[in-house]
Chain A
Amino acid sequence: MKQVYKRDLERLWQTISEHFELYLPLEQDGKVNFMPWKQGENVNIDRLKTDLSPKNIIFPPTETYLKFRTVNKRLCFESVGGKNDKYVVFGMRPCDAASYSILDKVFLQEPIDRFYEERRTNGIIISLACSEPEETCFCSSFGIAADNPVLGTDIAAWDIGESILWQPKSEKGKKLTGILDNILQDTSEHEIIALERLQQSIREKLAQLPWVDLDLEIISNNMKEMFESKVWEELSKSCLGCGVCTFVCPTCHCFDIQDFGAERNGERFRCWDSCMYSDFTRMAHGNPRKTQTERFRQRFMHKLVYFLNNNGVYACVGCGRCVEKCPVNMNIVKVIKKLGGD
């Protein structure tokens, strides 16, 4: 276990950014989001969670992965996706880090998505425990420990006030720790006690939250029964069909592929798409999900049933962004409660 004093943080970031691209939670116009850091930026590591999830780092909103050209009437494809630069993300929360391990199950399963793989292997994730979990947090329902970052984490960190404790969890994490040797300090008994006290306090705060123990067991035994449940119609009535929930969600990963260009020259990109949109499944001959009820059902069935069946985990980390951002206060917690018979 190492530590970095808060007064040294600026120097830490400076040193990291000499070797890597560094993503930090930066505050702009009152919103905090992970963005590439430059000296003088307004860093905010106290905001519990960023407004948007950090999935854009490994799964960009738009990624051009193919260029096509026509040379002498011959078509020519060139693969241009992926990311070669090595980077570090500092201050990601355990739920968001865990979401990376969920996205891995999609993109790193055969056939492996090479562009994603490249981004993923080039990144080092420093995950900061949540000293002040909020009422919209329900990560513990999904087995994620806010006091002890593990999943998707290369280095676990804790803010104990004067300093930030630093514990490498992976080979990548150890390597980075080595590079930062002259800034990181050794810890003593004193810090270990502080850490235990912090973790204890986090656990106590979590226990006070309203949604810590959502009962997920009660749902999702029978896919068809769930699918045909009457609750979808009722729940989806207020749904506006926008894509906020899917775009702020750290685990939503559906994408579209589109071409841009003219006369057989241009590029192909993939971009975030939302199952909430009416054109998501629209084909030339029809649409299997014609109403918002069907699209709404798809989103939650995917997260709570289909993904579990296929990958053994839920496609939700309980970050609570959809809870805060939904314009009509509809969210996965309500769905879970309703499916469980309230």
Chain B
Amino acid sequence: MSLKLEEKAISSKQQFEPLIVAFCCNWCSYAGADLAGTSRLNYPANIKIIKVPCSCRVSPNFVLRAFQRGADGVIIAGCHPGDCHYSTGNYFTRRRFTLFANLLEYVGIEREKFKIEWISAAEGNKFATVMNEMLDSINKLGPSRKLRDGRWIRQQ
């Protein structure tokens, strides 16, 4: 049965199951996620990871599109400043998304919904912690339709 339910119906259910999109840099954070997995650390299944070559590959378009199409939170994870595989990529990420995060807050989006984290390949632990915290804070915010496309139907 591939019938899809109106998302309204989902959010009105008692159980709010947030969806979090994590853009992870291939060299550090994605490896960090791997490490979290192989170390059997728990991180929520609500996190959907999208691998990007570098955190600075992420365009603000991606972030907004994710919110439109069902994400309750978006997180960009990259190497620590100074450790970028391409030397300087994440320095640009830092400037760009500092401004972008401010802009989102300015138009009324909660800080908790959009985050940047620096997670190295060795920080499986941090990966799990960050994701769990993110889920926690999104859960606390509860369901919200900000930036969401009203026509969007989440697949069941």
Contact = CB atoms under 8 A, between A and B. Distances in A.
B10 interface: no
B151 A267 contact: yes
Interface string A58-71: 00000010000111
14 contacts: A69-B3, A70-B2, A71-B3, A72-B1, A73-B2, A260-B149, A261-B151, A261-B153, A262-B153, A263-B2, A263-B155, A265-B4, A266-B153, A267-B151
A267 B150 CA distance: 12
Contacts of A64: 151
A265 B1 CA distance: 13
A70 B2 CA distance: 8
Contacts of B1: 72
A91 B4 CA distance: 44
Interface of B: 1-4, 149, 151, 153, 155
Contacts of B149: 260
Contacts of B3: 69, 71
A71 B3 CA distance: 6
Interface residues of A, number: 13
B151 A260 contact: yes
Nearest to B154: A262
Nearest to B151: A260
B57 to A, nearest CB: 24
B71 to A, nearest CB: 14
Contacts of A263: 2, 155
A71 B1 CA distance: 8
Nearest to B153: A265
Nearest to B69: A262
Contacts of B155: 262-263
B6 to A, nearest CB: 11
A316 B66 CA distance: 42
Contacts of B153: 261-262, 265-266
Contacts of A69: 3
A265 B2 CA distance: 10
Contacts of A265: 4, 153
A260 B68 CA distance: 12
Nearest to A71: B3
A266 B2 contact: no
A263 B151 CA distance: 14
Nearest to B3: A71
A70 B155 CA distance: 13
B121 to A, nearest CB: 34
A73 B1 CA distance: 9
A65 to B, nearest CB: 13
A70 B4 CA distance: 9
A265 B3 CA distance: 9
A298 to B, nearest CB: 31
A212 to B, nearest CB: 46
A263 B4 CA distance: 10
A27 to B, nearest CB: 25
A136 to B, nearest CB: 35
